Structure 1
Amino acid sequence: MLRLEPKLFEMKKLVLLLITIQITNLSFGQSTESILALNSGLFSFHGVSAEKSSQINLASNGSTGYTNNPFGAKNGLSYGLSYQIQHVSRGNFMTGISVGYENLRSKTTIDRVNGYDNTGTFQDVASGQTYLSNKFINAFPFLGYRIKCNQFSIDLIGGLDIGYLLSSREKGEATGVNGKTYSTSLDRTGIKTDLRPRVQLAVVYGKIGAYAGYAYGLSNYRSRWVGGRNECNAELIRFGILYKMKG
C-alpha cells in the first residue's frame, strides 16, 4: 500500500509557500496577463487496483447495486473551466496560478452481474460501463518560459495541481443477456486532496490559443480500503482552448 501522507503534507506546505511567492511577483509585474480557459481531457486510474473491467454486485432488490471496483483504467471524457493569471518577465520567464473547476471521469467496462434470486446466487453475463465522476476545485501554481515565433507565442509551463475533491460518485448501467437492465449510483468520496505534478504546452495567436498537458496524481484513491493490495493513482491528459482577456 502506498504511504504518501507525510510527503503530501510537506508538499502542501511547499506549494502554499510557492503560491504566496507567485502572488507577490504578480503584484509587481507590468506584463500581467489574465486568461479564461475551457478544457476537456482523458482521465483514468493506474496502479495494481485499477481495472479495465469489473462487475456489478446487486442489492436485494435485484436491479440496483454497486460496482465491485469503480476505479476504471479506461479513459473517461472530462471537462472543466479555469481562470489563469500570469506574469511574463522581460526575459520571457513566466510565473502564475490557475484556479478552476473540473469533473474528471474514469471508465470501467461491466462484463457480468452478480445477484441473488429466490433460488440462490447467480451470475449474469452483461454488457455496459461504469463512470466514476470526480468533481474537483483545482489550483495550479506554475513556472514557465515563453518562446516567441513571429505572431505566435509558445508557453512551456510546469507546476503542481492541487485538487480538492468535492465529491466522487459512480454511475453505471449494464444489460444482461436476458435483456434486463442493471444500474448503480453510489457515493465513492474518499480522499480529500490530490497533488498532481503537471506539464503543459500552450500555443497562442493574438488573444486565442490552444493547449495540452499531462498530470499524474500522487494520492492513493484506495488508501482507506482494507484487504489485498490497494494502489490506485490518477492520470489526466488535458486539452483545451483559451482566451486572453488581458495582456
Structure 2
Amino acid sequence: MKKLLLLLLTTLTINLSFGQKTESILALNSGLFSFQGYSAEKTSQINLASNGTTGYTNNPFGAKNGLSYGVSYQIQRISRGNFIVGIGVGYENLRSKTTITGVNGYDKTGTFQDAASGQTYLSNNQLNAFPYVGYRVGIRQVSVDLTGGLDVGYLLSSKESGKATGINGTTYTTSLDRTGIKTDIRPRGQISVFYRRVGAYTSYSYGLSNYKSGWVGGRNECNSSVIRFGVLYKIKGK
C-alpha cells in the first residue's frame, strides 16, 4: 500500500512539472459514514459504569449512516490528452450511527435492564489526503472528471456520544474517547461535474483498516464506508 501511494505521488510530481494545465479547487462536502464488517452493528445497548445515568455504548461502531461534513483543497494537472493527476487535502468529521434499544445498569435493588430508545454517534475527526489519477470528458463549457485513488486518513480523535430515554422517562448518556487506530487507508472512486468554475461531485470509498484492531475477545472486524457529495469551486483554472 505504501508503494502504491508513493507511485501516485511520484506520478503527480512528474505531471505537475510537464503537464499542460493546472487547476486549484476548493471543496465543501457532506456525506454518509458507517462501519461495515462482522463487528459493526445497527443496534446496541448502553452499559452504566455505576449508579447513575452515564455509561458507555456496548458497541459504538454503528452500521447505520451518520451525517458527516468536511472541507478540502485540491490541485490537479490536466494533460494534453485530458488525463488527470492530482491530490486533495482537508479535514473531515466522519460520524457513524447505532440505535440504542436498552440500558444495563445498577440501582438499590441490584442490576436492572431498561428498554430505551435513542442513538449513539461515533465522531471520527481526521486529516485526509487523496492522491488520484483520472480522465476528463469535456463538452463545451461542461466537463466531467472520472478519478480514482486512495484516501489516506490520519485520525485526530474518535469520540462516542450517545443519548437514550428509558420507558420510565430517565435519560441516559454516554461521552467517551474511542481513539484507536491512527491511519485509515481507503480506495476511492469519484465523479466530478463542472460548469465553468462551479461543480459538484460524489464519491465512494471503503476502508482497508480494521478499527477494532487489537481488541481482545471474539471476532473483531470493523471497516469504514464513506459516501461523499459536495460542491466545488475552481480558484484557478477554467
* Residues 1:137 and 2:139 aligned together: no
Aligned to 2:212: 222
**Which residue does the alignment assign to 1:125?**
115
Give structure 2 stretches of 5+ with no counterpart: none
1:40 and 2:45 are equivalent in the alignment: no
The answer for the alignment partner of 2:47 in structure 1 is: 57
1:160 aligns with 2:143: no
Structure 1 stretches (4+) deviating beyond 2 angstroms? Answer: 27-30
2:164 match: 174
> C-alpha deviations, 1:70-118, integer Å up to 9, x for none?
0000000000000000000010000000000000000000000000111
Tell me, in whole angstroms, the C-alpha distance in 1 between the residues paired with 2:4 and 2:61.
29
Secondary structure of the equivalent of 1:71?
A: coil
Give yes or no for the alignment of 1:240 onto 2:230: yes
- Quick one: distance in 2 between partners of 1:57 and 1:100? 35
Q: Distance in 1 between matches of 2:90 and 2:156?
A: 13
Match of 2:62 in 1: 72
- Identify unmatched segments of 5+ residues in structure 1: 1-10
2:110 alignment partner AA: G
Identity %: 76
1:196 aligns with 2:174: no
CA drift at 1:61: 3.3
Q: Secondary structure at the match of 1:22?
A: helix
Asked if 1 retains the 8 angstrom alpha-carbon contact of 2:123 and 2:159, the reply is yes
Between 197-206 and 53-62, report the one with greater CA deviation.
53-62
DSSP 3-state at the match of 2:76 = strand
* Aligned with 2:87 (options 75, 79, 97): 97
Q: Conserved in 1, the CA contact under 8 Å of 2:51 and 2:105?
A: no
Q: Secondary structure at the match of 2:122?
A: strand
**Deviation per residue, 1:159-178 (Å, 9 max, x gap):** 00000000000000000000
Deviation at 1:30? 3.9
TM-score by length of structure 1 reads 0.94
SS of the residue aligned with 2:212? coil
Contact 2:19 2:80 in 1 (8 A): no
Give the C-alpha shift of residue 179 in structure 1: 0.2
1:148 maps to 2:138: yes
Once the two structures are TM-superposed, the CA of residue 119 in structure 1 deviates from its matched residue by: 1.2
RMSD: 0.9
- The Cα offsets for residues 32-67 of structure 1, whole Å up to 9 and x where unpaired, read as 000000000000001110000000000213210000
Q: Higher mean Cα deviation, 80-89 or 13-22?
A: 13-22
Q: Is the 8 A contact 2:42 2:98 kept in 1?
A: yes
- Counting matched residue pairs gives 237
What TM-score, normalized to structure 2? 0.97
